[in-house]
Structure 1
Amino acid sequence: MTIELPCAAIPVRGRVDPEASEVAVTALLLAGVVTGGTVLVRDPLPLDAGAVRRIRADLARTWAYVVASADGLTATTRSTAGELQPFDATLSADVLPLYAVAATRATDECVLTGSDGSAAQWAPLLSQLGVDVRVAGENLVVTPGLGPVSGVVDHHGDVRVVLAALLVALLQPGVRIVDTTPLDVFPGFLDRWAALLGADEYLLPGSALLPSDYVVRS
């Protein structure tokens, strides 16, 4: 039995509770970035200050608009079409495959480097996910656009693979994976992911209030 991952019919716009995981929070925020939407991960973020700074800095490299406020951490694209400016980045192995998916939304090639020198190891998986990627020394060069996913994705127990596949599935209908067992380390994550995809909440970056909330308060 395999599982078909959900596609985003509309830009992902909504508020979601945080995870005590840098890679999971990154995936939630990138769901808004790659679809041309806005995602707020609520405070308090159960992460150390260094992790939060890394998340903000890495997201900003995609030319996304990133805002930290008392309500949480918000990321949104500067283009309603979801296009990103080309970016180069040195990233940890945990989040590199997620940013490789984001790089497919850029208007030109992006160069990604693994901070531990392991970027090249992600090339086969990314190619299977439809990412047009080539290895250049210790770098991955990602070309804009997504191709079809090749077969059923096998995560081999790696939660990063599942999260990368979830991001691809937002943009590419019909992505199938053997199962989502690795996500069990984040109880309720798939339910929150599905709720986020259907939320359609129009948020102002930096605030957890919806437009209707401002009317009520006035």
Structure 2
Amino acid sequence: MTVELPCAAIPVRGRVDAVALEVAVTALLLAGVVTGGTVMVREPLGLEPDAVRRLRAGVARTGAYVVASADGLTATTRSTAGELPQFDVTVPMDVLPLYAVAATRAGDECALSASDGTAAAWAPLLVQLGLGVCVEGESIVVAPGLGEPAGVVDHDGDVRVALTALLVALLQPGVQVVDTTPLDVFPGFLDRWTTLLEADEYLLPGSALLPSDYVVRS
């Protein structure tokens, strides 16, 4: 049975518990970036320090404001017009398709490379999801904008594919996958994702408190 993934009706603004895998934390943070919102992934992140540094640097390359604090890791877009700046980035193979989705929000083409040189392997999936992608050497170049996905996405059990489809679905209604089984590796992830889309919490970067919390404390 196919599943239609949720679209973001408003900018994604909210707090969510961490999932101890870099690709999942990246997807959560970029949900805020691509929709013009703010997402905090709460501590403990469950990631090695090198992974956290790499993640912060990668998300910041999209033009996002990234803040690490005792409460968690926050990413918020600097754009007020819904368009990201053009960016080029080299990231791990696992997270590259997520950055490709972010690149569709940029004002110009973005060149993305995988740190192991295998970026081109993601091109067929990205094209199926409606991205304008071409391969140039060991990089892929992503054009601004999204088209309609070409049919139901078969993730073949790959959680990276399921997460990429989730991120595309925020921007393009009607994205369907064969099922959401790969997300079962993170118990309750889809429920948390849906709750995050509906949260509409106005966060101050780096803090898990809402503006109303400051009033109460004073």
TM-score in same-fold range (> 0.5): yes
CA contact (8 A) 1:37 1:80 kept: no
Distance 1:81 1:167 in 2: 19
Distance 2:71 2:136 in 1: 41
Which residue does 1:61 correspond to in 2? 61
Q: RMSD over aligned Cα, in angstroms?
A: 0.6
Which residue does 2:180 correspond to in 1? 180
Give the residue type in structure 1 aligned to 2:150. S
| Structure 2: segments with no counterpart, 5+ residues | none
1:82 aligns to 2:82 (yes or no): yes
Distance 1:80 1:154 in 2: 35
CA contact (8 A) 1:32 1:76 kept: yes
Distance 1:146 1:179 in 2: 22
TM-score by length of 1: 0.99
The C-alpha deviation readout for 1:58-91, integer Å capped at 9, x for no partner, is 0011111000011100001001333111111111
Q: How far did residue 217 of structure 1 move?
A: 1.0
Which residue does 2:12 correspond to in 1? 12
Give the residue type in structure 1 aligned to 2:152. V
SS in structure 2 at match of 1:78: coil
Distance 1:113 1:188 in 2: 31
State the 4+ residue runs in structure 1 displaced beyond 4 angstroms: none
1:136 aligns to 2:140 (yes or no): no
Identical pairs, percent: 79
Distance 1:183 1:43 in 2: 21
Distance 1:38 1:77 in 2: 7
SS in structure 2 at match of 1:51: helix
Q: Aligned residues, how many? A: 218
CA contact (8 A) 1:90 1:114 kept: yes
Which residue does 1:196 correspond to in 2? 196
Which residue does 1:102 correspond to in 2? 102
1:44 aligns to 2:44 (yes or no): yes
SS in structure 1 at match of 2:74: strand
Distance 1:133 1:217 in 2: 50
SS in structure 1 at match of 2:85: coil
Q: How far did residue 212 of structure 1 move?
A: 0.5
The C-alpha deviation readout for 1:115-143, integer Å capped at 9, x for no partner, is 11110011110000001010001110000
Distance 1:174 1:81 in 2: 24
Distance 2:89 2:80 in 1: 23
TM-score by length of 2: 0.99
Give the residue type in structure 1 aligned to 2:121. Q
Give the residue type in structure 2 aligned to 1:51. A
Give the residue type in structure 2 aligned to 1:83. E
Give the residue type in structure 2 aligned to 1:110. C
The C-alpha deviation readout for 1:14-68, integer Å capped at 9, x for no partner, is 0000011000000000000000000000011111101110110100111110000
Distance 2:105 2:176 in 1: 21
Distance 1:216 1:92 in 2: 43
Distance 1:20 1:121 in 2: 25
| Structure 1: segments with no counterpart, 5+ residues | none
